Amino acid sequence: MIGALFVLQNLKDKLRYFDMHAVIILILPYITLIFHIMVLSYLRTAIYQRATIV
């Protein structure tokens, strides 16, 4: 009985660890996408400002 409880606790910790990794893997593409959009918009505004200056 005690061994089964220990195994269950160990499994729960593994699942929590896996959940965190799954969440990170799921969120990562969105973070990179937002970062790329921010960089592109910044570059676009910089190019527009340079064009207006020239």
1-54 per-position pLDDT tens digit:
678 888 888 888 887 777 888 888 889 999 999 999 999 999 999 988 887 766
- Domain positions in the chain: 18-54
Q: Distance between CA atoms of 11 and 5, rounded to whole angstroms? A: 10
Beta strands (DSSP E) in the chain are none
- What does the pLDDT read at residue 53? 65
Q: What is the pLDDT of residue 44?
A: 93
